[in-house]
Amino acid sequence: MALIRSLAVWVIIYAGQCWLGYVNKWNLESADFYMFYAVATLMMVISYVMGRIEDLEEK
């Protein structure tokens, strides 16, 4: 369950950042998308670890 939730977090955060950049007409370059990817991946890892901790506590 933690993996599915963390993947959903990744998709939502990455898509949200790209959407904000598009709506606000930011002059996005390739490096900006790598930064979005890095932030979304970091949040996914944190979400996965927190979810695994919750799963282990339930057992």
Per-residue pLDDT of 6-57, as tens digits, reads 999 999 999 999 999 899 888 888 888 899 999 999 999 999 999 999 988 8
Q: How far, in Å, CA of 57 to CA of 32, rounded?
A: 38
* pLDDT value of residue 17: 92
Q: How far apart are CA 25 and CA 21, in angstroms?
A: 6
End-to-end CA distance of the chain: 14
